Structure 1
Amino acid sequence: MSWTDPRSRLRGELARYTARSWRVPLGRGVVTLLVGVALLLAPLTSLAAVVTVLGVGVLADGVVSVVQGVLARGQWGSSWRLVRGVAGVLAGLFLVWQPSITANSFMVLTGAAALVTGMVMLAVSVQTRALAPGTWSGGVVAGVLLALLGVLLMLFPTAALLLVTVVVGIGSLVAGAALIAHGWRLRRAWRELDRAA
């Protein structure tokens, strides 16, 4: 390769870059695709597994905080680390032992938040209708719909979890397929560049 030929040099750089990088999107795509398949084949079991893994992470973080709090005994902030660590350990243990209850509780809390937000939107829209007569009805509709969604999430948390898990599973399948296709395109580009270099 000549120093006077910038195209050839650029081609060589691109070939080296794609030779290193095509495996990354391909590997990520395969993992994402497998996650999507698992979520669609056994949505609630997969969700429980995700919550369990999250619980292990929270538990480990709590243990580290407890150890740091004990080692820093007498220093400023050590008692807060200890309290945070104990809370993390307890939360992690609960997530690991009761993943389905945790997931359902999360949906109920999300529903309660949506209900409160929807009711606030509804009240604000009704109160400001004199100020914005052309737009207040949109706020009312949005508030009512959000409040209804909140009620549904609170009444049917398991069904909501199932729906969310299936949607995430379909999204994972699509994203995984796109990443795999991108990895194969990079691999093909690398081979073409390598032949041309």
Structure 2
Amino acid sequence: MEELARTWWVYLVRGVCAILFGVLALIWPAITVLALVVVFGAYAIVDGVFALFGAGRGAGLGSRGWMIFYGVVSILTGVAVFVWPGITALVLLFFIAAWAVVTGVLEIVAGIRLRGTAANEWMFVISGALSVLFGVLLFIRPAPGALALVWLIGIMAILYGIALVALSFRIKGLASRWRGPSGTPRVV
């Protein structure tokens, strides 16, 4: 707990970076997907570096090994984005489209299987159909779909960043409650 409390600011920096990334995506909606991918690549590298730093300082919420793994994967993702930005954008878009179709089909199947056994099972079918429609539209019209994804990614990054900032202050607050008035750890 003490190690986590000493490095609360790592989560704060990661949260602020996510918020800045999200705001940039929303301020310039006409930004090309290629530019967004490059900004994402930079964010992934910075996030990975801070995750490795946090792991080195013992600031992981999980095991140190998983935090190191996360940091390395994040950095490698960022490097891949810089090496293949155009391919990264298109592949990412198609992965999201495929994910939307597959999850939509699974939701439709779940809604049909739950027919008569659960209340409002039709909501599974409707949400699944919307997900399939979204995925198909991304496959058919990738450019407008990419612009829509810019907005979704921007909003998601801002919400994620706000959550990390809140977590950082919560961890900082827990540290002060965990210590006594003299700064020494309380014995429980």
TM-score normalized with structure 1 length: 0.51
Residues 47 and 177 from structure 1, CA distance in 2 versus in 1: closer, same or farther, beyond 3 angstroms? farther
Residues 160 and 150 from structure 1, CA distance in 2 versus in 1: closer, same or farther, beyond 3 angstroms? farther
Residues 179 and 111 from structure 1, CA distance in 2 versus in 1: closer, same or farther, beyond 3 angstroms? same
1:118-155: CA deviation from partner (whole Å, max 9, x where unpaired): 23234434xxx4xx3x63x5222122123324534644
Q: Does 1:147 align with 2:134?
A: no
Partner of 2:42: 49
Distance 1:104 1:147 in 2: 19
Contact kept in structure 1, 2:101 and 2:131, CA below 8 Å: no
Paired AA for residue 111 in structure 1: A
Q: Paired residues, what number? A: 135
Of the three residues 97, 100, 110, the one matched with 1:111 is 100
Q: Relative to structure 2, which stretch is displaced further, 94-103 or 35-44?
A: 94-103
Residues 179 and 193 from structure 1, CA distance in 2 versus in 1: closer, same or farther, beyond 3 angstroms? closer
1:189, distance to aligned residue in structure 2 (A): 5.5
SS of residue matched to 1:138: coil
Residues 47 and 103 from structure 1, CA distance in 2 versus in 1: closer, same or farther, beyond 3 angstroms? farther
1:62-105: CA deviation from partner (whole Å, max 9, x where unpaired): xxxxxxxxxxxxxxxxxxxxxxxxxxxxxx74675325445434
Larger Rg: 1
Distance 1:158 1:188 in 2: 47
Paired AA for residue 19 in structure 2: L
Moved over 6 A (4+): none
Q: Percent identity?
A: 13
Q: Does 1:30 align with 2:22?
A: no
1:23, distance to aligned residue in structure 2 (A): 4.4
Q: Which runs of 5+ in 2 are unaligned?
A: 26-35, 49-72, 139-144
Contact kept in structure 2, 1:55 and 1:93, CA below 8 Å: no
1:168, distance to aligned residue in structure 2 (A): 1.1
